[in-house]
Structure 1
Amino acid sequence: MSRLSIDLHECCRNGRRIDAELNGAIEAACDKRIKTVEIIHGKGSGQLKKRVLRFLQQPEVKARYHRLEKDSKNHGRLFVHFKH
């Protein structure tokens, strides 16, 4: 498995659930040595994307992944790349 995908549309109004989903995806990627996590946040007003980016910029989270890529063709998703 080289890619893990999470969709945050269902939990967009619940901040704790968003953080739990993101933490779970990061943990799974590290444990299973998955190279890429695709985070689907949707286009909308951009508030969910900002929340996801703030979460990923936390020092303890940022230390776990290699780089962050914004999809140039679809502004409603991000890719988090890991170097294991």
Structure 2
Amino acid sequence: MLKVDLHDVARDGAAIERALREAFEEAERLRVKCLQIVHGKGTGQLKRRVDRFLKEPQVKAVTRNIDHDSRNWGRLFIYFRWPERNRA
């Protein structure tokens, strides 16, 4: 499972976007089943940015399920459904 912790970039919108994109690219490259995103509890602004990112069409296309951690509301688990790779 891959993990991205957004605490270090919480005040930089471009860095948040970059961290999320890089995590998704790495998840796709490795074909992991799950990505853990730690957005923290805070005021909820960072969580809203993550939620907006997760609604993008290219992200939704490969997302099977999103689980909120019932014991830690500052963490999400993204489960993927990767398309079959073309075998040439």
Q: Same fold (TM over 0.5)?
A: yes
TM-score computed with the length of structure 2 as normaliser:
0.88
Identity across the alignment (%): 48
Alignment match, 2:76? 78
Aligned partners of 1:66, 1:23: CA distance in 2, in Å? 17
Structure 2 counterpart of 1:13: 11
Deviations 1:20-67 (A, max 9, x none): 110111111111011110000100011100110111011121112211
Higher mean C-alpha deviation, range 65-74 or range 3-12: 65-74
Paired position in structure 1 for 2:51: 53
Structure 1 residue ranges without an equivalent (≥5): none
Q: 1:65 matched to which residue of 2? A: 63
- Which 4+ stretches in 1 moved above 2 angstroms? none
Report which stretch shifted further, 62-71 or 11-20: 62-71
Out of 10, 15, 28, the position equivalent to 1:30 is 28
> Larger C-alpha radius of gyration, 1 or 2?
2
Residue equivalent to 2:85: none
The count of residues paired between Structure 1 and Structure 2 equals: 82
The alignment partner of 1:81 has SS state of: strand
Helix, strand or coil: the match of 1:44?
Answer: coil
Distance 2:25 2:8 in 1: 20
**Structure 2 unmatched runs, 5+:** 83-88
The equivalent residue for 1:43 is: 41
How far does residue 83 in structure 1 lie from its aligned partner after superposition?
A: 2.3
